[in-house]
Amino acid sequence: MLIKICRGWEIPESEATPEAVFLNRRALMAGGAGLIGASVIGRAQAQASDPSADLYPAKRNAAYKLDREITPEAFSGDYNNYYEFGTSKSVAAAASKLKTRPWTVKIDGLVEAPLEIGFDDLARKMPLEERLYRHRCVEAWSMAVPWTGFPLASLVALAKPTADARYIVMHTFKDPAQAPGQKAFWYPWPYTEGLTLAEAHNDLAFMVTGIYGKPLGNQFGAPLRLAVPWKYGFKSVKAIDRITFTKERPKTFWEALQASEYGFWANVNPEVPHPRWSQASERVLGTGEMRPTMLFNGYGEFVADLYKDLQTERLWA
Ligand code: MTE
């Protein structure tokens, strides 16, 4: 498909974190006040009234280690991709208006019995833990964050897919009245992503409900998002309200828009450039440091086996 839309996250590596933005944030941080301070305070107030707030902080699972510092919240919380709320990185204020309660997650498709469950009931049923994960965007910036959540495999067990099911498909809410970005008719809303069931059962596949030891802020995809850290960040769909099990591979949001650049698998590989920029290195958010990108974002020991019989597939973008 040859739609040429200017998408905020499709920028060359050299521009992935513009220096001016970076320096401006440093100045704001140094001042210790200003917009970031206001947004953090607003978030803290919203989180105090969160019906699941007592579940945080969850115990950290030491199996998931980082090779770098955790990205400060002031950076990760003010540099987001969330097209439902605009194409800039500063979507926190707009996203904070999304009503995340009540929030029902619908589970349907090839399952023993379709199910609807309130988010807070789901969170209380699941084994919550904290994990430190790297997070690598296809735009060639990265961060490292302490997510709280539960293994996707636990949700699959709750859903009970039938023997025919081969894929799990996750949909973001659709409500243009709350999410102005969804009025842009040329995007195939709702945002949809998918994994094979084998990927969904991998230990690393994580459903996220919190970050930094607190309930998830709206800009990160509250109340429920995915984290699959061996893949480019666009696979990690936010604000999920429907999960469908299918036999056919789904057409995902970015694949539907530009299949030549964003495929189904989207595994991180420094040697396979995006058609318009290199993926060899990444800019670390918060420090500006350039680091070499790692195959599978450094998670090969967990996931490489998933792909050994799939070498004819376009696994890397
Ligand atoms: N999910 C929805 N619903 N809408 C989006 O625009 N952007 C994706 C992904 N999930 C996106 C989404 C992209 S491109 C990335 S890199 C990550 O979210 C960014 O997650 P973060 O803002 O928490 O860093």
Does the CA dihedral 296-299-304-305 come out positive or negative? negative
Ligand 1 touching residue 195 (CB < 6 A): no
Atom of ligand 1 nearest to the CA of 79: 22
Separation of 163 CA from ligand 1 center, angstroms? Answer: 31
Q: pLDDT at position 23, please? A: 33
Domain 17-307: assigned CATH number = 3.90.420.10
State the pLDDT confidence band at 165, using cuts at 50, 70 and 90.
Answer: very high
* Span 138-149, average pLDDT: 98
For the cut 50, the answer to whether the pLDDT of residue 21 exceeds it is: no
For the cut 50, the answer to whether the pLDDT of residue 20 exceeds it is: no
Domain boundaries, the chain: 17-307
Separation of 155 CA from ligand 1 center, angstroms? Answer: 21
Q: pLDDT at position 243, please? A: 98
* Span 294-312, average pLDDT: 97
pLDDT-wise least confident of 41-50, 81-90, 299-308: 41-50
Q: pLDDT at position 317, please? A: 80
Ligand 1 touching residue 269 (CB < 6 A): no
Per-residue pLDDT tens for 264-300? 999 999 999 999 999 999 999 999 999 999 999 999 9
Ligand 1 pocket mutation, candidates 11, 237, 238, 285, criterion most atoms within 8 A of CB: 238
Rounded CA gap, 305 and 309, in Å?
Answer: 8
Q: pLDDT at position 26, please? A: 40
Atom of ligand 1 nearest to the CA of 239: 3
Rounded CA gap, 256 and 273, in Å?
Answer: 20
For the cut 70, the answer to whether the pLDDT of residue 12 exceeds it is: no
**Residue identifier of the C-alpha nearest atom 17 of ligand 1:** 233
- What is the residue-averaged pLDDT of the chain? 89
Rounded CA gap, 78 and 69, in Å?
Answer: 18
Per-residue pLDDT tens for 24-73? 344 334 333 334 444 554 455 555 589 999 999 999 999 999 999 999 99
Ligand 1 pocket mutation, candidates 178, 236, 261, criterion most atoms within 8 A of CB: 236
Rounded CA gap, 80 and 134, in Å?
Answer: 15
Q: pLDDT at position 49, please? A: 82
**Residue identifier of the C-alpha nearest atom 9 of ligand 1:** 234
Which residues, at least 6 apart from 201, have a Cβ–Cβ distance to it below 8 Å?
A: 152, 153, 156
For the cut 70, the answer to whether the pLDDT of residue 180 exceeds it is: yes
Q: pLDDT at position 6, please? A: 43
For the cut 70, the answer to whether the pLDDT of residue 123 exceeds it is: yes
State the pLDDT confidence band at 11, using cuts at 50, 70 and 90.
Answer: very low
Ligand 1 touching residue 83 (CB < 6 A): yes
Which two structure tokens, joined as six digits, stand for 251? 């057409």
Q: pLDDT at position 281, please? A: 98
